[in-house]
Every structure is written in C-alpha cells, then in structure tokens.
Amino acid sequence: MVKGEGDEWVPIDEEATYTIVTNNYVRGGGDGFETFAEGDNPYDFGPPLEQVLAEYIAKQGGEVAPYLDGRITVLD
C-alpha cells in the first residue's frame, strides 16, 4: 500500500514508477533489499551515513559514551 490522496492508502500500481528515500546501506542491497541495488535510474544524493554520523558526533563534542539499554541481548 502507498499513500494516496489525503489520508487514503491505495494498492501499489505495478506499472507506476515510485521515488523512495533510504540510507546507503539499504540502497546498496543490504538487509535483503537487492531490488534497490538493481533498481532503474538510481540517484544517490548526499553524504554517506558514516560521514553524517561522524560530523554529528564532532558537533556534540567529539566523544561518545556508549551504553546498553536492554534492546540487544545475547542468547545462550
């Protein structure tokens, strides 16, 4: 489903061409999205994600204090 007019959702038109926005990892076929890597007329705009993150960290003072918040667990 895609967003139609207003708040209405409509089925994807198999014959239509859609523009999407994603990060460079998915754009390159990551997480099984090979279709994006093979897509017609790809247009890469903007800096790579790692550069954006590095610039953000630098603007915050250049240091990161990683912590665990319980979302990642190790299964035995």
10-residue mean pLDDT profile of the chain (76 residues): values are 81 86 84 82 78 93 89 84
Q: For residue 65, is it within any domain?
A: no
Q: Which domain holds residue 46?
A: 2-59
Q: For residue 8, is it within any domain?
A: yes
CB–CB of 42/34 below 8 Å?
no
Look at residue 7 in the predicted model and tell me its pLDDT.
84
Q: For residue 16, is it within any domain?
A: yes
Which pair of tokens denotes residue 39? 């897509």
Q: For residue 70, is it within any domain?
A: no
Count of domains in the chain?
Answer: 1
**Residues found in the chain:** 76
- Alpha helices of 1-76 — where are they, by DSSP H? 24-27, 34-38, 49-59
Look at residue 60 in the predicted model and tell me its pLDDT.
92
Neighbouring C-alpha atoms within 13 Å toward the C-beta of 38: 4
Look at residue 57 in the predicted model and tell me its pLDDT.
94
Helix (H), strand (E) counts: the chain:
3, 2
Look at residue 11 in the predicted model and tell me its pLDDT.
92
Q: For residue 66, is it within any domain?
A: no
Look at residue 35 in the predicted model and tell me its pLDDT.
83
